[in-house]
Structure formats: C-alpha cells, structure tokens
Amino acid sequence: MQSEDTTLPFSPTNIYYLIGGLLIVFIASVFTQKPILRGTTLMLIVFLAGWLLTYQKTAINQSSHYTNLPQFTHYQAVIISNAETKPKTYKVEAEINAIKVDGKWQNSTGKTLLYFNRQESEKPQYGDVFLIKDMPREVEAPKNPEEFDYRRFMQYRGIYAHHFLWGQEYIKIGHEAPSKILEFSYKANQYADSVFKARIQTPNEYRVASAMVVGLRDDIDNDLLDAYSASGAIHVLSVSGMHVGILFLLLGWMLDWIKKRGRYGKQIFAAVVILLLWGYAVFTGLSSTVLRATVMFSIIQLAPVFNRQQNIYNTLAISALLLLCWNPYWLVDVGFQLSYLAIIGIVFLYPYLNQLATPNNLIFRSLWEGTCVCFSAQLFTFPLSVYYFHQFPTFFLIANPFVAFFSFAVLPAGLLLLMIAPIPVLSDIITFILKYSLVWLNKSVFFVEKLPFGTLKGFSMSIPEMLFLYATILLFILFFLRSEIKYLRVSLLIMSILFCLNITEDYFQSNQKALTFHFIPKKSGISIIDGKSATFIADTTLLNSKKIYDFHLKNYYDKHGVVNQNELVLNQYANKQGVTFLDFEGKRILWLQQKFNGNLQGNADYVLLSNNAVRELSPAFSKFQTGLIIVDDSNKRYVVENLKHQADSLHLNLISLYDTGAFSINE
C-alpha cells in the first residue's frame, strides 16, 4: 500500500541539532543584549519545534504503521469511534493493532475507516474487535477538477485507508474498549438519542435535538441541512463552541452564588464550572470542536481564581497552543479556523457595536445584543467561509438572533430532560418546552431559507483574494474606530486591486471554452463550458442527483464562474445504436453508450466508451482513426483492464478515467 508522502524532506535528527544550535545562539543573545537576534532565534526555535511535533504526530511516520509494513492477508482491528449510520452502511474508525504476514501475526498501528453492510451486520460498538480478511484500500485522491480532497482530509485525521465489508470478510472476536471514558461517552450518546426519539415524535425536531445537545447527526436529511446552511445557522447542527459557550454562561448565572460563600468561593466556583464543562464534553463524545471550546473556557475560568487580570487574546492564544500541541493538524481544520476567528471577531468588535444603541426594553436589548454578536462573528468569518464553501447566507442577521434565542432554551431543556426522563410529570413539562423551542427554531430557519436571494452561491475565491478581503475589513474597522483617513485610503487601494483582479478574471471566464469527461463512480457525464454557461450531459438518474452535483461538479463550475447551467438527457441525443456525436471547437467526439458489435468508420479526435459498449477494440477500431479512446467508470473493471491490454497491443491511445481522473479539453 502506498500513501501520499507526508514526511519531512530531511531527517528529524537534523532538526534536533538545528534547535540545539539555535538554543546556544539564543542564550548568547541574552548576554549580548541584542533583542532582534533573540526574538528571531526564539521564533525559529518555536517554528522548528512545531515542525518536529507535527512529524511525530503524523501517524504514517511510525515504523509500525501498517502502510510501512509488508502486504498482509488478514488484520485485527478495534473500533475506536461511534458508528455513523449511512443509507447502506455503518461507518466507523478502527485501529489496526495486528496484521498477518506470511502466516505470522505481528503488531502494527494505524487507523482505517470500516464500512459494514447494514443488511448483513449489527451496528458495531466502540471497543468491538474484528478479525478481517484482505487489506484496506488506500483512500483515493480527487478525480475531478476542483473536487473536495477527501484523501487529504482523512490524512489530517491520521486515516489513510478504508475497507468496505459485505459480510463474508470479517468476524467479531471480542470486545476491548481502548478508553473507558470514551466508552461511557458513546453509551451516553446512545441513551440521549433513545430519550429524544421516544419523547419527540416529529422527525425534524428530533433530528435537531439530537444534533444540538449531543452531536448525533446521522438522521439529518438534506432538506434540513440545506435550510440551516442557507440561513447561516449550520453551526447549530453540531455541538460546537456556541453550545459550550451557552452552557458556560448558564452555569455562571446559576452558580454565581458559590463565589460569595467562604474564603475559597471563587476556587470552588471555578472547579465546579470546569468539571461540569468537561462532563458535558465527555457526554458529547469528546469531539474536536467541543474539546477546543472546553479548553478555551476552562482557561478563561481559571484566570479569576489566581486574581489575574486576564487578556482574552492571550487566553485564546494559550488555548490554541495547547490544542495544537495535542493535535497540530487541527490548524488546518476548518472548524478550528472558523471558531477562533468568530471568537476574535466577537471579542474585538462586539463592545464597540453594542455601544451604538442601548434599548431599554429587555426583549429588544437581547435581540440587539444577539445581532451584534452574530454580525461580529460573521464579519470575521465570512471571507474564509466563502473561500471554503463558495456561498454566503444573505439574511444571517435575521436568522441568527432567533437561532441564538431558541438555542438558549433548547440546550438546557435538552440536558435537563436527559437527567429527569424517568420522572413522569416533570419530564413531560420539559419535553413540551424543548419540543416547541425546536419547532420555532426550525420555523425561523425555514422562513429565512425561503426568502428571495437567501443564499448567494457560486463564489470562487483564491487565497490572495481572501487575504486582501480580510485586510480591507480590518482597515475599515480601524478607520471607523480611530477616524484616521490613512486606513480608508489603504483599504480603498486594496479594494481597487480586488476590483481589477475580478474584472480580469471575469474577462477570461467570459471567453473560456472547455469540455470535461468527468469521473463519476459507475456513471458517465460530460460538461461543456462556454463562457459562463455550462451544459452537463448525463442520464436522468445522474441529472437528478444533488449529491453527485455537490461533490463532483459544484466546485468546478464555481471556479469557472458558471452562472447558467443546462442539463441534457443523454438518451435523447443518441441514435438507435446508442451513439452520440459531439463537436467541440472543431474537435469531433464520438460517444458509445450501448453494446456495439460493428466496425466504426471514419475518424474522431476522441472516443468515449460507456456501459461496456465495446469489449473488443479489434475489429471495431480497425478502420477508424482516433487520437484518444477514453473509458469511463460505467464500464466494469475487468472490461477496462482487458481494453487497456488490447490498446497496448494495437498501439492505440487509451486512458481509463478511474486511473487518470477527469480529462479536459481546453480552448
């Protein structure tokens, strides 16, 4: 098994020597009173230490990692996550702790994804140990232009392979939980889900309750997910920093009386709050988002204990440093980046915005404060959100105050219900409060989603453009805070540069022409881009699949600035023999879509074979000239391999989209 190289370009031993040399320079700089040398040296030491830590935390760099060992016939794996329910499978993470090579077992390390067939197996539990036949398969790189890099995403989580199990390849041989805390956590998750399922009968309300309170999102459908995404409230559907923040505020309000009790009131208060926060983190499965927020709020709570005047920016920096020491790859996690940017935005901007108005009415004041918080967070996160997700929720200011208001009811009511579920009357009252808080939360989200132009989509932003946009936002804020014209001038200059970049990009996009043979698992599809219009040709099933579009096409169209999309049903443009002729900028494309036994006549620049249309290249291509034969993934794998061997012997140019990924013709 070969994986993408994530190792350092030179030995880590050299880094140790380099750090040692820099430490000597740093000590010398202390005595020579040279602050520039001291500061530069210290920064280099920190950078190299972080690099070394990342090397050590990269699973594949361990010699015992299964990707660094010989090929094996069997392996033993223990489940290390809660099972995620998919339409046809149960998806879990597993640790491979032993492999069988040449009939002998040897220890190993490394994580893999396992997919269990739901029809053939029970739901796997945390700690279950399985004996599995064959080797897991490497997670593949993206095979379409601009497609989400799922392989890199998994590698950042230390996962390099996956294995689909259909019932005959494995056997459960025991149960050995690696962590009793996590085992308890996952059981608490399952208990919570069973309570919500029994108490809340309406599907959408049950799904949101389970997602908000304990982070279980298995049952959330696409319509509900799209509604929350379009209204800018998608963060509600996963237990995150917002939820921990709400709990932190509630605990502070409920337990404030402890501070005034005795000499050690502050210390007891801090200890109780921190314990309860970590208890909630354990209850929600110790997800990375909850861990980050819990660490941060724990550090915030510790400062008053030592009678220290805390600097919130130092607190954020310390919490980030601690988290990155635990897992350096959280630095490239989108949730990590967005959560810290949101908090920085609130800390920096909210106090100034809140001073602009002081409503006397409690309800209006709460709405105003909620709006200020949402605006501050959204302003600091929207360039990064657009960069990653290519869309912007237009009416987030309308949705988020209501979302925050109802969330303050949902989270405590949900947690309270889990604690008092067996108590008849009291649990019914709390269920009523929880259910109707969820009803109004969903109503507000769906209302915002249905507003015209509720979500602006189709953005594509480069990293330089994103940085320019952040610079513009910060300069505008400084101009309004300090009333210095120099900030406005520089911001206008940067905006002019951005404007010129966008005009240039728009010009090239308006004149672009491209034809792409897409790699789509078990399917066929072609995109033709002409200016800012795109036509996708495929069968009806594929055209109606939003999932296929979102995963394989959306980013590609956004990158090319496509604003007009057309769909053509493939069958309508094929003759009786299943042949479609296309002409693209003088290039002739022949597309065979059903069994073809005859001899092709004439020539074509490209020939696309689909649905096992051709199994023998000779005599089909004996009298036909073509520059390239393209075989898509709708063909069976053994047919593709056979065609590749035939092409080699006949000296024909042939590629398989499964091997090469999408193939594009650009003009």
Average pLDDT over residues 158-176: 91
Pick the more confident residue, 598 or 94: 94
Helix (H, G, I), strand (E, B) or coil at 548: helix
Q: How many CB atoms lie within 10 A of CB 250?
A: 15
Task: Give the predicted TM-score (pTM) of the model.
Answer: 0.84
Same domain, 205 and 162: no
Same domain, 229 and 124: no
Pick the more confident residue, 99 or 287: 99
Contact yes or no for 240/339 (Cβ under 8 A)? yes
Domain contains 3: no
Same domain, 189 and 173: no
Q: List, in order, residues 6 or more apart from 548 with CB less than 8 Å away.
A: 520, 523, 542
Same domain, 476 and 371: no
pLDDT value at residue 172: 93
How many domains is the chain partitioned into structurally? 5
Lowest mean pLDDT of 151-155, 571-575, 652-656, name the range.
571-575
pLDDT value at residue 8: 47
Name the range with the highest mean pLDDT among 238-242, 325-329, 394-398. 325-329
List the beta strands (DSSP E) in 507-548: 513-517, 526-530, 533-538
pLDDT value at residue 531: 93
Q: How far, in Å, CA of 235 to CA of 289, rounded?
A: 11
Domain contains 562: yes
Domain contains 288: yes
Portion of the chain with pLDDT greater than 90, in percent: 35
pLDDT one-digit tens code per residue, 546-566: 888 888 999 999 999 998 988
Same domain, 652 and 560: yes
Quickly list H helices, 177-231: 180-199, 203-214, 222-230
Q: Which of 126, 150, 178 is the last residue of a domain?
A: 178
Same domain, 238 and 361: yes
pLDDT value at residue 138: 93
Q: Which of 178, 206, 236 is the last residue of a domain?
A: 178
pLDDT value at residue 9: 52
pLDDT value at residue 220: 74
Lowest mean pLDDT of 298-307, 386-395, 468-477, 592-601, name the range.
298-307
Same domain, 622 and 547: yes
Domain contains 1: no
Same domain, 361 and 488: no
Same domain, 400 and 492: no
Residue 348 has pLDDT above 80, yes or no: yes
Domain contains 605: yes
Same domain, 70 and 163: yes
Same domain, 162 and 276: no
Under the banding of pLDDT at 50, 70 and 90, the label for residue 255 is confident
Amino acid sitting at position 553: L
**Enclosing domain of residue 35:** 12-57
Sign of torsion, CA 325 327 330 335?
Answer: negative
Domain contains 297: yes
Domain contains 159: yes
Average pLDDT over residues 626-630: 93
Same domain, 506 and 535: no
pLDDT one-digit tens code per residue, 436-492: 888 888 888 888 878 887 778 878 888 999 999 999 999 999 998 888 899 999 999
Residue 661 has pLDDT above 90, yes or no: yes
Domain contains 7: no
DSSP per position, 13-40 = HHHHHHHHHHHHHHHHHHHHT-HHHHHH
Average pLDDT over residues 108-115: 95
